[in-house]
Structure formats: C-alpha cells, structure tokens
Amino acid sequence: MRPNLLQIRLPFMRQPAIATWHEGQVSGGQRNLDYRLYVPTRLARRPALVVMLHGCRQTAQDFATGTDMARLADRHGFLLAYPQQNLTANPLRCWNWFDTRNQGVDGEAGLIMQMVDELSQTHSVAPKRVFVAGLSAGGAMATLLGRSFPDRIAAVGVHSGVPAYAAGSISGAMQAMETGETGERGPGPTRTIIFQGTADETVVTANGDRIAFAKPPEDMHWLRRPRGRWVWMRQRSGRRYLRRRTGDHARAEYWQIKGLGHAWSGGQAGGSYADPLGPRASVEMVRFFLGHPRMLYPLVVASLAVTRIFR
C-alpha cells in the first residue's frame, strides 16, 4: 500500500495535531509575569520566537486578536509569545518603560528576557532568531530591549513607540510622547522596523523619526536627507524609508503612514487600538524579522487570504 503523502513528516518541521495556546508564568524580583504562548500547527524544528508587547489598557488576548500574528506563525512556523503586564505593577497595564528600575537587566525588561530564555530552552529556539515587537508602551519597551540586549535579540519592531531612555518619570514620559525630543537617536545595535502614524495624537511622529534616523533629517546635507518611497496599500498611503547599517547603528526600516492614528496598522477590528486599513504591520514586521525580500509580500498576503476562505 502506498503511504499517504499528507502523513509524511518533513525532517525540518514538527507537526503537533493542532495549533495551541498555552498559559505560562515566570517569577523574579518578587514579581510574576504571565504570558500566552502560541504553538502553530507546523512548528519549525529550530523555530524563531516572536515576543509581542501590548500597549496600555490592553491584555495579551486583546493584543493577539488585534495584531492577528497567529496566522503568520502558522504560515512560517515560529513561536509567538504575548506577555501581559500585571495590574499591580501598573493600573493601566502599561509597561513601565519610563521607570529606570525597568530599563536594564532587572525589573520588567529582565522578566521579559527570563521568559525568552525559558521558552528558548524548552522549545529549542534557534539562536539569534528572537524578535520583539510592541505597540505604544510595548513599543517603548521593545526599543529598550533592543538597546539593552543586542546580543540576544535579533530585531525589534516598534509601532507608535518612543526611543529608548526617553524618560525617567511619568511626567517625562508624557513629554517624550508629546514632543519626540528625548531619548536615544537611531536604531542602535539591533535591526529595527518602525511604524508610525502621522495622525497619532498620543505618540507624535517625531518619535518615529528619532528612532529611525541617527541624525535629525533637517541637519543632514540635502543630498543625504532621507527620501522615503511612497507606498499605497488598503486605501492608505505613506512613506517607507530604508536605512543601511552605519557606524553604531543597525539597519532600519521606517513606515510613516498618512492618516493613521494611535493604532496597529492593518490590524483586526476585534482588538483594541487596531486599524483595519493597511499596510499590515504584522506582515511587514515578520518579513523584516525573518529576512524575506519584500517581493514576497504579495505572496504572503495571497496565502493569508486563501487561509481565511477555507478556515
């Protein structure tokens, strides 16, 4: 009898019966950090790990719904972790990126990295394939992690966030969000992709500029000033800037989306702070993380569309 080809296991893929969500927790420094872990149907034998950090007033479940990243985990075979801020640590569930106790190897940054280490060991995550992305306060924490742990985080995705070390207090945090005049310039040592809306009244566009460009654009010689290419996707337009690795700064990609407010670009309407119009930040971030050339974007979109039809 001939074997059923659909039942043959490929050597580079693990194949659990169904995709599953798991609840987990790490403890340290008299604190606990809960998280939700998504294991896709086909998990690569040495998978990548993508950590998603929610914004204020969000939960891990809410952010998972809005970003719809699980579909991409199914497509590419990576692990997906959504840590959740504790209400006792912040009543709005904001990550305390503005508190100096959480900006280094200790505090919240340390707890997140402890989760990364445990998941990496348990699931044999590929070295140098740990990625972190976040929205708003989560984006601010992602920039901190990229600066603090460049040897353990391969790339960072920042959506509507502020630069690393932009504030040391709540009042400083508000000023940073409203002006974009503080914090480290440029992406630093970790590859970074940035999404920022021009209509964002919570985190102004100057913050995205500061993360993307090591020097203020207005201070550059006119021949070297960044000139992003116009992009049009899902009834929206914007500019996409590509920055090569220079000196102490890694490669960066910056999407400045016209008319986008304080919300995840191309997100699912079922989640909070999610804008259904494109471009799809989740798709672009995964492409950037995994190193796929941009020409594959239409193929990924088409595969996701087919998946939705037949599920």
Catalytic site residue 136? yes
Nearest C-alpha neighbor of 21 from the set 31, 35, 9: 35
Q: Which of 120, 136, 160, 265 is catalytic?
A: 136
Which residue reads 């990295």 in tokens? Answer: 113
116 in Cβ contact with 51 (< 8 Å) = yes
Name residue 300's amino acid.
Answer: V
Residues 238, 279: Cα–Cα separation, whole Å: 9
Cis upstream peptide for 279 (omega within 30°): yes
Residues 120, 210: Cα–Cα separation, whole Å: 32
* CB atoms inside a 10 Å sphere around CB 301: 16
Burial 101-133 (b: 16+ CB within 10 A, else e): ebbeeebbbbbbbebbeebbeebebeeebbbbb
Q: Active-site residues: which are they?
A: 136
